[in-house]
Chain A
Amino acid sequence: GESVGLHLPTLSVQEGDNSIINCAYSNSASDYFIWYKQESGKGPQFIIDIRSNMDKRQGQRVTVLLNKTVKHLSLQIAATQPGDSAVYFCADGGGSNYKLTFGKGTLLTVNP
C-alpha cells in the first residue's frame, strides 16, 4: 500500500542552528504535500504546503523542498528556536481523493 515515511524519528539541534526534517512518500500520483507541527497536548498545526508543480516553497523561517524524482520532501527550519521543539509530520495528499496519509513524525528537540 501507499505510505509516507520519515527518515529519522528524533532530531536534536542547538538553538540557532538550521534543522532539516526529511520525509519519503511512495505514491507517485501524489500532487500535494503538507507539513504539520504538533506540540504536546495539542492538535497538529499547519506549517506549510507544496504542490507537485513546485520544487521549493518558502515561509517564515521554513522552506519545503520537493524532489519528485526520488519521492522525497524536506522541511528546513532556519535559526531554530526552543519554541520549535515539537513533533513534525509530513502528509501526502494522495492524488485525486480526499484523504491525507500522515507520516509517523519526527521529534525535534532544540537545546538552548
Chain B
Amino acid sequence: NAGVTQTPKFQVLKTGQSMTLQCAQDMNHNSMYWYRQDPGMGLRLIYYSASEGTTDKGEVPNGYNVSRLNKREFSLRLESAAPSQTSVYFCASRNSYNSPLHFGNGTRLTVT
C-alpha cells in the first residue's frame, strides 16, 4: 500500500522560479490537504479539497495555488517562489470528516 505519495522529495529553487508539488493517494479518499511545517510553527494548512471539484483556502494560502486534478491527485503550485516559502510541505488525505488524516512523507523545499 503506497498511501499518500509526494514528489519530489527535495527541491531547491531560486527566488522567482515556479514549481508544482505533486501528491497522489490510492486510498479512494474524498478529501485532500496541503500543509507546510516550519520549526516552532507546527503544521499550517495551505489549501484543502473537501471533495473532487472543490478547493478552499486554509490558514496560509498566499503565494500558492492548487488543483484537484481528479479524486487521486492534488497538486500545489508556487508561481513565484520566495525565501519565506522555504519549508517542508506535506500532503494528506482522509475519507471524511471525523476520520484521521493520512500524510505523505513530505517535500523539503529550499528557496534561495
A10-18, A60-68, A78-86, A93-101 - the one binding chain B = A93-101
Complex CA–CA separation, A46 to B102 (angstroms): 7
Complex CA–CA separation, A41 to B6 (angstroms): 13
With contacts defined as CB atoms under 8 Å apart, how many contacts are there between chain A and chain B in the complex? Answer: 51
| Chain A residues numbered 94-110 whose CB sits less than 8 Å from any CB in chain B | 96-100, 102-105
B contacts, CB < 8 Å to A:
4, 31, 35, 40-43, 45, 48, 50, 56, 58, 90, 92, 97-98, 100-106
Are B103 and A44 in contact, with the CB atoms below 8 A? yes
Are B50 and A89 in contact, with the CB atoms below 8 A? no
Q: How many residues of A contact B (CB 8 A)?
A: 24
A contacts, CB < 8 Å to B:
31-32, 34, 36, 41-46, 49, 51, 89, 91, 93, 96-100, 102-105
Q: A89-B43, A102-B42 are in contact. Are A43 and B97 (CB under 8 A)?
A: no
The interface centre, meaning the residue of A36, A44, A93 with most chain B CB atoms within 10 A of its CB, is A44
Complex CA–CA separation, A89 to B92 (angstroms): 15
